[in-house]
């Protein structure tokens, strides 16, 4: 594990490679469909850290040969490790989210030659998927009829969306715990 990503248990969101883009189609739309601009999964992945800490505390409580203060110190040490990892995850999550939103805004402005105010106002009030947002701004820019969500779903996709929450190989032993979290918290 790299010294810069020691805190990651999951693979990060990937960018669509230039070779995978279809010629003739909108590069931005393909990137949107691939999931480059979707919500960063790091905030949901902090749930695994909380659960692992809870399980570690149960394990520590099961030690019978130690003094109560020693057990508490062990829990504090585990809490510090967990908090450090969660802090790194949330800082990266917030930075990624900000960068994605700014990049999406800029790319939509360039693609449709519209003002930043139009894109910002639309993004702040829009209630739909990123793909629907693309077609919504496209319709406004081209002065066409705005399509409904059902009509947009009927448009063929150029890219399939990349999978989320893939545990790294070294972290596969946490798979069952993560599956329970996903089921209980309805993460996706």
**Ranges of the chain with pLDDT below 70:** 1-3, 188
Helix axes of 116-125 and 130-141: crossing angle, nearest 10 degrees:
140
pLDDT at 136: 96
pLDDT at 141: 94
Q: Going by C-beta distance under 8 Å and a sequence separation of 6 or more, which residues neighbour residue 146?
A: 136, 139, 140
pLDDT at 138: 95
User: Can you tell me which residue has the tokens 């990624």?
Assistant: 96
Tell the burial category of 58 from Cβ atoms under 10 Å away from its Cβ (0-12, 13-18, 19+).
Answer: exposed
pLDDT at 188: 65
pLDDT at 1: 45
pLDDT at 5: 75
Q: What is the DSSP letter of 167?
A: B
pLDDT at 135: 96
Could you state, in order of their start, the residue ranges of all structural domains in the chain? 25-185
């Amino acid at each position: 594990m790299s010294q810069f990503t020691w805190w990651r248990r999951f693979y990060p969101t990937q960018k669509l490679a230039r070779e995978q883009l279809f010629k003739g189609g909108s590069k931005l739309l393909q990137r949107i469909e691939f999931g480059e601009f979707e919500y960063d999964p790091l905030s949901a992945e902090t749930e695994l850290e909380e659960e692992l800490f809870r399980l570690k505390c149960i394990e520590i409580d099961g030690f019978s040969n130690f003094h109560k203060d020693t057990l508490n110190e062990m829990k504090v040490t585990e809490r510090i490790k967990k908090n450090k990892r969660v802090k790194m995850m949330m800082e990266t999550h917030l930075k990624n989210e900000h960068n994605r939103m700014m990049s999406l805004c800029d790319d939509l402005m360039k693609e449709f030659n519209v003002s930043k105010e139009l894109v910002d106002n639309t993004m702040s009030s829009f209630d739909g998927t990123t793909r629907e947002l693309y077609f919504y701004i496209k319709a406004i820019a081209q002065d066409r009829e705005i399509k409904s969500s059902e009509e947009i779903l009927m448009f063929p996709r150029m890219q399939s969306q990349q999978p989320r929450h893939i545990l790294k190989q070294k972290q596969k032993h946490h798979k069952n715990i993560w599956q329970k979290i996903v089921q209980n918290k309805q993460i996706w």
